[in-house]
Structure formats: C-alpha cells, structure tokens
Amino acid sequence: MSQEETMDHNNDLFEHYQFKADKGQEPLRVDKFLMNRIENASRNKIQVAAKNGFIFVNEKPVKSNYKIKPGDITKVMFSHPPYENLLIPEEMDLNIIYEDKSLLVINKPPGIVVHPGHGNYDGTLLNGLISHFNNLPNNKDGRPGLVHRIDKDTSGLLVIAKTDFSMTNLAKQFYLKSSTRKYYALVWGSIQNDKGTICENLARDPKNRLIMSVPDDKDFGKNAITHYKVLERFNYVSLVECQLETGRTHQIRAHMKFIGHPIFNDKRYGGDKILKGTIFNKYKQFVQNCFKILPRQALHAKTLGFLHPKSNKEMSFDSELPDDFSECLNKWKNYSNNI
C-alpha cells in the first residue's frame, strides 16, 4: 500500500491506541516502543500493522524501524472499531452471590478478563453480563454495569450496577473511598511488621509500560494507599490482608513488590521466581509444585462493602478462597509445620 493510498484509507480507520513519547525518550524503534505499551502485542503483529500502514507517528504512517523521538504522538489504527465498542452477548455461568433491582455482586473466578481489550476480544465477564442483563448502564468508559474491575488472574468480588442511579452512586462511593475492599495475598518472605501502610504514588514503569511502579520523583504518578495486615507466616511466604484506600491499576501487586514482598507466582511483578528459601532441590521442587497448583498471582478480592444506593443500608460481602489458592496455602502450611 502506497503512502497516498494509506492516507486515503485513513478516513476509514479507527484509533485503537495513542501514546505520547516522554520528554526524556531515547531513540527507539516504534515496534519496540509499542511492544512495551500494548498488552499481548507481539512484535510480529506490530510489524504487520506497520506494513499495512496502520501505525502513524505525528499523523504520518511509518515503518516498523522508525525511531521514536521525544514528544512523538504514535497512533495504532485499524479498519474496525475498537473491540470495546463491539460487545457481543455470550452465554456464561455467573457466580452471582447477591442481586436486587439496583445491583448485583459477582464472585469472579481466576482467568476471566473483566472487559474486552487488546488480545481479549470475547469470553470476558462483560460479554456474559450483557447476555444475562438488558440495558445495563454505561460507566464513564462506556462499559455496561462496571463500577470497578479486578485483573484477569485475580479472583473475587465485583459489584455491578443495574441502573443509572446505582452506577452514579456506587462510582461516587469508590471515588470518595467510602467503599471497603479487602484482598488476601500470599507474598514472598516473612514480613517483619504485623501491619503497615504503603503510601507511595504509582505510575507506568518507564522501562515496561505494562506494569506499574513507584516513581523516583515523589511528585509524579497518582496517589495510592494500601493498608496491610499479616494473617499468617510460613517461613518463606506470608498470607496478608490488604485493604485498598485507593484503587489504582495493579496497586497491591506494585506496592507489595516495592516493599520487597512480591505476590507469589505474580509473573509480571517477579513473583514467579524462587525469591526466598533454601538451595535444596526438594525445596525447589516444592515451590515448582505450588506454582503448578496456583498458576497465577496469589491474589483474591475477598470482601466488599458499600452503602446500598437506594436504601443507604450498609452492605457487606465475603467470599471463600478459590480452590487453587486454598490448596497452595495448605501446602505451605504443611511445609512450614514440618520444617
């Protein structure tokens, strides 16, 4: 496709991603630049997009070897609308633990993405929700019913709004931090203090835009506050309860890594390596077996509390740990008791 044909075709393209290079951006190929920013995007996919004329820098199509400079605005565009706007109802078994005319509370299993996005175009919780419920209200991002979200491999509780009034009311409670959210996490290491508060800003990591990290500049990033309490220690790992005061992307995962206790088997934040323990092969095999039992980050949204939008009654919900988390936890308990 020639540049002229590409620009003519631009009228039929839809923007899927846009990124502005930081002032300190060093020269970097656009394909590598985008790989660091788009989840589940392989270099081959990005190069194909560039070959088809779907990558633009400062409104001009570029090849995959174009070097990004500070201030460059990069767009990835395709001939179809973003998949977020193509929600298709899909039959799905939903674990609904509470429902009334205003809202419902769901216990999400691990491995289910909450809403469509790059690499996850169907089979999401939202696809299942719109199959079960008609006319769910849109949130500020145009996603029906969703007041908040949890990561794909995090299990646990979510509240879903069924009316516009509930959406507005619940979103305000989350914004004002009056809702209660407690998570259980199995983390590496024996945490020294029985409880504490992590109050550190979070921002996209400059080296890997798919993760969050605490920036060196304390004035940069968004305020994030996590309260934690140690529930049990098992020599090389600890079970902690984390209560969110803010709800930033990957907040618990990034904060626990920052204090030196990444979540067990959290691949993105380094928890999938043997970080504590002995050098003996039996121990290494034990940890590998735990990884197989729990092939995801050991994080579960256990409790959820808020005021009912209509009655103003205090609502509180609790959920059991899923089987994979529970089995892994029991293995660590037995191992610790036999040391």
Q: Mind telling me the catalytic residues?
A: 151
- Vertex 236: Cα angle to 234 and 242 (nearest 5): 70
Q: Where are the beta strands (DSSP E) in the chain?
A: 14-20, 28-29, 55-57, 60-61, 67-68, 73-78, 96-99, 103-108, 155-161, 180-188, 195-199, 203-204, 212-213, 225-233, 237-244, 299-307, 314-318
**Cβ count within 10 A of residue 42:** 12
Q: Radius of gyration (Cα) for the chain, nearest Å?
A: 22
Return the half-sphere exposure (C-beta side, CA atoms, 13 A cut-off) of residue 32.
11
CB atoms within 10 A of CB 115: 21
**174 backbone dihedrals φ, ψ, rounded to 5°:** -65, -40
First to last CA, the chain: 66
Q: Helix-strand-coil percent breakdown of the chain, rounded to 5?
A: 25, 30, 45
Measured CA angle at 15 (ends 12, 21), to 5 deg? 140
Using an 8 Å Cβ cutoff, are 30 and 62 in contact? yes
**Cα 232 from Cα 141, distance rounded (Å):** 39
